[in-house]
Amino acid sequence: MNAFLFSFTGTLLPHPKSLVSPSRTSSYVSPQAIGKSPSSKQHNKPLKNPLLDPSFLKVILNACDDFIDTFIDPPCHPSLDPKCVLSDNFAPVDELPPTECEVVKGSLPSCLNGAYIRNGPNPQYFPRGPFHLFDGDGMLHSTKISQGKAIFCSRYVKTYKYLVEKEAGFSIIPNLFSDFNSLIALVCRGAVSITRRKIGQFDPSNGIGLANTSLALFGGNLFALCESDLPYAIKLAPNGDIITIGRHNFEGNLPINMTAHPKIDPDTGEAFAFRYCLIPPFLTYFRIHPNGTKSRDIPIFSMTRPSFFHDFAITKNYIIFPDTQLETNPFGLITSGALVGYNSRKVPRLGVLPRYATDESKMKWFEVPGFNMIHAINAWEEDDGDTIVVIAPNTMSIEHFFGKIGPNSPKN
């Protein structure tokens, strides 16, 4: 789909008779049948310890999760209380298969063809414990317009996390923003997660991302993105259905994660992106060519601390990275229950790098006191490239950006 239409003629509503969403069901995998030997001779076999049976362990682990949620987690702050966070317009919704919309006013021109697709968090299962909106499973909502008709559809991005938990019937993979609400909860949930990994309930090497942040069209594919994982390729079917093709690693050249906000140059068709990490190099820049191949990585070693990089900006000749007062710190999970913390002593910076740099030797950093840029709106060059203008909202109370994720808002 080569077009995203952000406005169209007519007022659209799904047909009332088709608005019954399928109820959410959980799949059940029956245990394998135990065969009996037709021979009357019985061979002595070592008895298995029933306490080590995976199905028994799963029951125990589920009980442990419930115990942590009920007795170990401290009372939820409203910003983490699922009864508050997931209420009214933020309440979870079910998938809706392709549904033709009734045009209640006006008409749709037959020459109008395209689709509007939105991405956002929508938990597959209602949380048993603390929940942050950023931890919801990615769901895509699409309105496809063709031949004077509009088809609406809502589908989950079929991430590895979604599929594993769909089969299990409940959430089992840890949530990055809300599962570590206290030190003791961190230890307990960590032990439960390690045990689930050991008995084969999930494999983190397959990715634990949610694909719930954004959509981007580049390299010949439409992607659902989340910065904690690889992008997931998505296809919009002719009947309006949304199909997840799978996790995309650009022929093995992108092993871990990338930003959820890549920048696409409409003139060249290139996509510019980055990833950040908890270990050096803390920031890595790369490009995706129009044919979908990835350039080599450019590590930014002048980043000496692991900052929280969510977005950036590009101009015709430069890349602009914001180094804010938000920093990622795994020890924050222990001290405050939050992976991202606010450093009051740090002076925010903007880093400028030529778009086609082969290394970071031409990287320049400029201190911008009081300017914490989380998202970029636009950027361009003036004065023959001597001046770069960046338009971005300034997050004034940066220490409260994530709400109250942990029991104590972390400050360094």
Q: pLDDT tens across 140-176, in order?
A: 999 999 999 999 999 999 999 999 999 999 999 988 8
Q: What percent of the chain has pLDDT over 90?
A: 70
Would you say 285 and 319 are in contact if contact means Cβ atoms under 8 Å apart?
yes
- Rounded to an integer, what distance in angstroms lies between the CA atom of residue 169 and that of residue 244? 20
Is pLDDT of 49 > 80?
no
Say if residue 232's pLDDT is above 80. yes
pLDDT of residue 16: 38
User: Where residue 3 falls among pLDDT bands split at 50, 70, 90?
Assistant: very low
pLDDT value at 53 more than 70: no
At 38, the pLDDT band (50, 70, 90 cuts) reads very low
Are 114 and 1 contacting, i.e. CB atoms less than 8 angstroms apart? yes
- Cα pseudo-dihedral 122, 68, 164, 404, rounded to 10: 30
CA–CA distance, 119 with 210 (Å, rounded to integer): 11
Please give the pLDDT value at position 46.
56
Are 297 and 257 spatial neighbours (Cβ–Cβ below 8 Å)? no
> Residues 260, 309: contact at Cβ < 8 Å?
no
When pLDDT is averaged across residues 181-197 and rounded to a whole number, the result is 88
Question: What local confidence, expressed as pLDDT, does residue 338 receive?
Answer: 72
**Is 289 annotated as contributing to ligand binding?**
no
β-partners of residue 146 are 149
CA–CA separation, 350 and 338 (whole Å): 25
pLDDT (average), residues 381-406? 85
pLDDT for 51 equals 54
Q: The tokens of 384 are what?
A: 């023959």
CA 242-246-252 angle, 5° bins: 150
pLDDT at 41 over 50: no
Q: Whole-angstrom Cα distance, residue 97 to residue 388? A: 46
Rg over CA atoms, the chain = 24
Looking at residue 380, what is its pLDDT? 98
Global pTM reads 0.84
**Would the annotation count 132 as a binding residue?**
no
pLDDT at residue number 73: 86
261 among the known binding-site residues? yes
In the numeric block, which tokens belong to residue 104? 């209640």
pLDDT at 2: 38
